[in-house]
Amino acid sequence: MVEETGLQLQHLESFINPEPTYYMQHQQSLAKVLSPGRYQHGIIRNKLIDYSYAAGDLIVCNRGIDEFVRWDSDIRILKVDLPDEAFRAIANEAGADSVEIHSSTHFEDKRVAALIAAIQAEEEGGSLSGRLYMDSIAQALASALVQLRGNLKRSLPHYHCGLTPTQLARVKHLVYGRIDQEISLQEMATAAGLSASYFNQMFRRSTGQPAHQFVLNARVEHAKDLLKSPKLRMLDVAISCGFRTSQHFARVFRSICAVTPTEYRRALGIRS
């Protein structure tokens, strides 16, 4: 489970059960079927509808729905719970009081499928990109659901420009001033005076890279300066640049620089 962001992942594994089970959906969620299976569900215990799924199928699960579920076969599912704040930000930006998402038992969209695949890859890779990356994906998923399955009183506004120089300077000041700490997408958006739902899009137009990648690059550049000091241990450098462990630091550093921190230091003629 990804615990450092509003976005939560749950790996569910259900088995054949003869009796319907009551279930309440507490979050707006997306589910990806990982293994084929069948189940029945409905709001009336003795009137359930049959559904069959193949691996890769997507389901939009609405917050607040209560129903009965009976599994007709074993099945594995990845459930992605989206944070309420992501939808509140979109509603505020559109001048609406709230967002209503229509559920879908068989949902198809290449963009959403790609975003969920990115979440899986990030999880399987050890969450190298960190909290900001997952915040950005959560916001992108929420925006996609609102556009494809949502009900808003007004259409979403579109920005055609990037951040102003003042906004960009404020965001960079925040990033560089807290290079040793986690920074959320909301904090960066607040520094720019924007809602989180469109900040990442505008930031990318201004810098040519998403916010999470900018932060990682800033940390690695700071690390390069610290690595010039032979007195600093690798763990000291990692922590000073906002990485949890020296192993995490080494993986991110290599992914950006194509060499490990130790190899980079040796190339400078420094022996730890």
DSSP symbols for 151-173: E-SSPPP---S---HHHHHHHHH
Give the C-alpha separation, 124 to 240, whole Å: 26
Quick one: pLDDT band at residue 128, thresholds 50, 70, 90? confident
Q: Point out which residues pair with 40 in neighbouring strands.
A: 50, 70
Name the architecture of domain 8-153. Answer: Sandwich (2.60)
**246: Cβ–Cβ under 8 A, 6 or more apart, which residues?**
234, 235, 237, 238
Q: What's the pLDDT score for residue 152?
A: 75
Q: If DSSP codes are grouped into helix, strand and coil, which group holds residue 107? A: strand
pLDDT at residue 192 greater than cutoff 80: yes
DSSP states of 76-88: EEEEEEPPHHHHH
Quick one: pLDDT band at residue 240, thresholds 50, 70, 90? very high
Provide the residue ranges of all domains of the chain, joining segments of one domain with +: 8-153, 165-268
pLDDT at residue 261 greater than cutoff 90: yes
CB-CB contact of 176 with 235 (8 Å) = no
Quick one: pLDDT band at residue 1, thresholds 50, 70, 90? very low
Q: What is the pTM of this model?
A: 0.69
Q: Point out which residues pair with 107 in neighbouring strands.
A: 58
**215: Cβ–Cβ under 8 A, 6 or more apart, which residues?**
130, 132, 175, 183
pLDDT at residue 82 greater than cutoff 70: yes
Give the C-alpha separation, 92 to 104, whole Å: 25
Q: What's the pLDDT score for residue 24?
A: 81
Helices (H), 208-260: 211-226, 234-240, 246-257
Q: What's the pLDDT score for residue 67?
A: 80
Do the domains spanning 8-153 and 165-268 agree at the CATH topology level? no
Q: What's the pLDDT score for residue 272?
A: 59
What CATH number does the domain located at 165-268 have?
1.10.10.60
Which of the two residues, 215 and 198, has the higher pLDDT score? Answer: 215
